[in-house]
Amino acid sequence: MSLKMATVGIVLMPRKNKKGEYPIALRITYDRERKYYTVRGESATKEEYQKILESSRGERAKRKRKFEDIKKNAEKTIEGLAEFSFEEFEGNYLGKKQQRELSIDEYFEKKATELQQNDKLQTATTYRATIRSLKRFDSRVSFNSITPTYLKKYENWFVTEGKTPQKKDAPKQGGSYTTVGIYMRNLKAILNIAIKDGVAIKYPFGTDKGLYQIPVSNNTKKALTIQDIGKLFSYSTADKNENTALKYWMFSYLCNGMNPADMANLRFSNIRGKNIEFIRQKTKDTTKVKTVIKVLINEHIQRIIDEIGNTPDPDSYLFPIYQEDYTEREKFNRLKQFIKLTNKYIRRVAGKVGVDAGITMYWARHSYSTILKRSGAPIEFISEQLGHQNTATTQNYLDSFENEHRAKYSEALMPDLNDE
C-alpha cells in the first residue's frame, strides 16, 4: 500500500484529565485505523488549544513550534519506512522519541557520569552543580525553556542571589561571573549533545543580535608585592600546620606558581638534572601539544623539598599529599582537603605578618607572574613558565630559555631578607 495513506496530526484527546484539560497527542491514521501517542506533559482546553494554533509569538508560539516539530519528526519516520505498519512506526519513532525526550536533568547526569568514569571528577562536579543551579532558578527547567531571554534572566538571578547558601537560613548572596560563565559553557555543551541526538532546540547562544553571549569575567587577580613576599619568607614558627602551609605556598610561588593539583602529582622522577619538569594536569588531556614546564631547582626550592618532601625514591610522590593506593575519587577528595587546610593556615600566617588575610594557594601563581613582570622578565618567558597556550609568536619562544635564564629570573623571586 502507498505510504501516503498514513497521515499525521496533532490533536486533543477526547477525554479530559484531572486538570479539566484535554491531553495533546500525536495521531497516526492508516487504513482507517487510528492510534494516539500523548505528548508528555502537554494538555489544554479547547479554547486554549485554538489560541496556540493561531499564535505567532510568546509562550503559545513556542508550544505551537514544539507540536509542529513532533509532527514533522513523525512524518520523517514514516517516509523512511519501506512499508508502513504501526509496529514498524513505533519501533522507529518511539525509540528516537525516547532519546529526544530525555530530560535536561538526564542529559546533565549522563554527561557527569561519563566524565566521572574517565576520572574527570572536578568537571563532573561542575556539570552537576550547573543543573542544580538551574533548577534552583527554575524547578521546571527543560530544553523548551532555554531561550536567550531565559538565559539572561538566569544570569541576572545568579549574580544577585544565586550563590548556593552554606547554611539553611543564610541570607541570599550573588555568585560570580566566573562561575556563571562555567555553568553556561556546560549548558552550551549539553545543548550541542542534545541537538546531535535529534532534540528540537532553538539554539540560544551566539554573537548575533538577540542571541545570548556567555559573560567573560574580568576579575582582578590577587598578587602580593615583593615586600609582602619578604614578610612571608621571613616568618618562622614552631606551629607544624602553619610551617607546612607556608612551605607549600612558597614552593608553589617559586615553582612558576605551580597549581596544587600539579604539586600533588609530582614524583621524584619529575626531577631531571637541575630542573623539575612536568605537564599541567589542567591541560594534559585537552591540548594536542603537551607543553613541558621546567623549573630550575634553586637552593630555596631544594630546602623545601628536603624539609617537607617524602624520602627520595624515583617512583614516589615528591610530597605526602597523595598515597600510592589512592583511587581517583580519593585523590579528588584529598586535594580539596589539602587546598582547604593550606589556605586556612597560610591565612593565619598572613594575618600575623601583616599580609592580606584573603590570601589563598592561587595567589602564589598570580604573585609569581606579576613580580616577574615587574622585574623585567619578558612576557614570552613568563608565558612559557606558566605553561599557557598562546599566539603563534609566543609559541615560537617555547623551549628557548636555557638554565642560565631560569637562574637569573629565579633569583628575582627572592626578597632581600637582610633588609627586614
**How many Cβ atoms are within 10 Å of 196's Cβ, its own excluded?**
8
Same domain membership, residue 407 and residue 288: yes
pLDDT at 288: 66
Q: Is 109 found in the same domain as 86?
A: no
CA 115, CA 74: separation in Å to the nearest integer? Answer: 33
Residues 234 and 279 in one domain: yes
Contact 319, 263 (CB under 8 A): yes
Q: What is the pLDDT of residues 131-151, one digit of tens each?
A: 999 999 999 899 888 999 999
pLDDT of residue 395: 33
Residue after which a domain boundary falls, among 85, 100, 115: 100
Averaged pLDDT, 321-339: 92
Helices 177-196, 148-161: inter-axial angle, 10-degree rounding: 150
Q: Are residues 257 and 387 in the same domain?
A: yes
**How far apart, in Å, are the Cα atoms of 213 and each of 74, 177, 188?**
33, 12, 11
Q: How confident is the model at residue 348 (pLDDT cuts 50, 70, 90)?
A: very high
How confident is the model over 90-109, as pLDDT tens digits? 878 776 554 446 789 989 99
Q: Is 236 in the same domain as 383? A: yes
Which pTM was predicted? 0.59
Last residue of a domain, one of 51, 74, 100: 100
Together in a domain, 143 and 77: no
Range of the domain at 30: 3-100
* Per-residue confidence band for 287, with pLDDT thresholds at 50, 70 and 90: low
Same domain, 112 and 89: no
Cell triple for 278:
612536568
Each residue's pLDDT tens digit, 242-259: 999 999 999 999 998 899
135, 272: one domain: no
Residues 303 and 234 in one domain: yes
132 and 44 share one domain: no
Average pLDDT over residues 213-219: 75
